[in-house]
Structure 1
Amino acid sequence: MTDVIRVLIVEDEPLTAEAHAAYVARLDGFAVVGSASTGRAMLEAVASDPPDLVLLDLNLPDAHGLQLVRALRTAGSAVDVIAVTAAHDARAVRNAIALGVVQYLVKPFSFRTFAERLDTYREFRRGFEDRRTLTQADIDQNLGALRPTTAPDTEKGIAPETLQSIREVLRHATEGVSATEAGAATGISRVTARRYLEHLVTVGQADKDVRHSGPGRPEYEYRWLR
């Protein structure tokens, strides 16, 4: 195994793919080696230059992600897969585990959660390096490395649907967005919008700066960290 874990990003939404690539770039020991926006492109990429890890969105325009994982296994590929999806029904998760998906990321998630999942995956991977045999304790320790040690990205008063709406406003904005503008775009109050915007700043997905627009009380504007 190489020191750097080579990552293929499979995501059909360009802004989301860019965000995932930026997240990977912030992690030591990982490198993005390619991207694909369709299932066909993913299968071709894995066949021509196998990565170590695939960050796989399960809802692609030409195939469901689990169908693609089955195709990989049928072809004899043992590439590791982390499923990335907005869906989290029990049957899909169970099927993903049965197909050997090593981690599951449910959108929306922060960089903190993303980093933790990849860090635990790296520890899991290291547990098999230079080993020909494993004891029960070794196996238990390696499997335990995949279990997250911190709580998911939940906060009292933060609704996932509203948070995703605020994210989309920032992602598609060409300039900084104020709480008033974000509230108007999503149909919520300025105060509520600001709470969600501040949450995104806290989890590292947005930054803020003072907007200078004349006399009076200054207003903050928020920008998506691509």
Structure 2
Amino acid sequence: MDARTGGSADVIRVLVVDDEPIAADAHAAYVRRLEGFAVAAVAHDGQGTLHALKDAQTAGAPIQLILLDMNLPDLHGLDVSRRIRSAGYGVDIIAITAVRELAIVRGAVSAGIVQYLIKPFTYAAFAEKMANYRQFRRQLETTGAKASQQDVDSAFASLRTPGETPLPKGLKEDTLAAVVGLLRGSTGPVSATETMEALGMSRVTARRYLEFLAESSRAHRGSRYGTGGRPESEYRWIG
């Protein structure tokens, strides 16, 4: 097990589960590169996963997220998920697996798995899924005891990448990816004018893509006041 943990209450404690030590180490290294996440433990089979959850709970530092391989030497990932739910652990699960069978994917949904990431994948794809998950948690945590339909829709929309959200007519996947890349790589909010200049598109087009990301809860829209006193919208990537 890996005892490394974060020092902030906002840090999401992660249990990495994979039967292949090299893959487990790689996924743990990916987690450590992400702000707001910490590796709480690493397990290589189903029983080890259940023991790690119990140990963390007993120590008063419960695990909040499991990165779960489906093909484990003693238990299938779906069986592990069901046992976790039966035991009453309030932990989220992201399946990280090479399994592509539709029956398994459906089973993952019914077992309460919130995300499904197919191997092999790049660090960028992994970081995207984790950022989506973190935003999902944030939105649920800031919602009151009773959620509105908009609260629920917004939280679940945050689990999807922009490409998974149906694009309005006239928007293109490659252009959207470029705008997302610009926002993610920026150290601060970006305006439509700055997007236009960076990506070589019209200001109207830039604003359409930025507004789409804001409306689908992928970016935060704010106001910026220039020297002329007129406010201009600015957009910051969430997560």
TM-score by length of 1: 0.65
Q: What secondary structure, in the 3-state scheme, does the structure 2 residue paired with 1:127 have?
A: helix
Q: State the Cα distance separating 1:76 from its structure 2 match.
A: 1.1
Q: State the Cα distance separating 1:2 from its structure 2 match.
A: 2.9
Q: What secondary structure, in the 3-state scheme, does the structure 1 residue paired with 2:151 have?
A: helix
Q: Match of 1:122?
A: 134
Gaps of at least 5 residues in structure 1 are: 152-226
Q: State the Cα distance separating 1:38 from its structure 2 match.
A: 1.1
Q: 2:27 aligns with which of 6, 20, 26?
A: 20
Q: State the Cα distance separating 1:78 from its structure 2 match.
A: 2.1
* 1:84 matched to 2:96: yes
Q: 2:155 aligns with which of 136, 142, 153?
A: 142
Measure, in 2, the Cα distance between the counterparts of 1:2 and 1:147. Answer: 25
CA offset digits 1:166-187 (Å, max 9, x no partner): xxxxxxxxxxxxxxxxxxxxxx
- How do 1:46-85 and structure 2 match up within 5 A? 46-49=53-56, 50-85=62-97
Q: State the Cα distance separating 1:129 from its structure 2 match.
A: 1.0
Q: What secondary structure, in the 3-state scheme, does the structure 1 residue paired with 2:141 have?
A: coil
RCO higher in structure (CA 8 A, sep ≥6): 1
Gaps of at least 5 residues in structure 2 are: 1-7, 57-61, 165-239
Q: Match of 1:3?
A: 10
Measure, in 2, the Cα distance between the counterparts of 1:29 and 1:46. Answer: 20
Q: State the Cα distance separating 1:3 from its structure 2 match.
A: 0.5
Q: State the Cα distance separating 1:110 from its structure 2 match.
A: 0.3
Q: Match of 2:41?
A: 34
Q: Match of 1:109?
A: 121
Q: What root-mean-square deviation, in Å, do the aligned CA atoms of Structure 1 and Structure 2 show? A: 1.4
Identity of aligned residues (%): 49
Measure, in 1, the Cα distance between the counterparts of 2:50 and 2:130. Answer: 22
Q: State the Cα distance separating 1:80 from its structure 2 match.
A: 0.3
Query: Which runs of structure 1 show a deviation greater than 2 angstroms over 4 or more consecutive aligned residues?
Result: none
Q: Match of 2:197?
A: none
* 1:99 matched to 2:106: no
Aligned residues: 151
TM-score by length of 2: 0.61
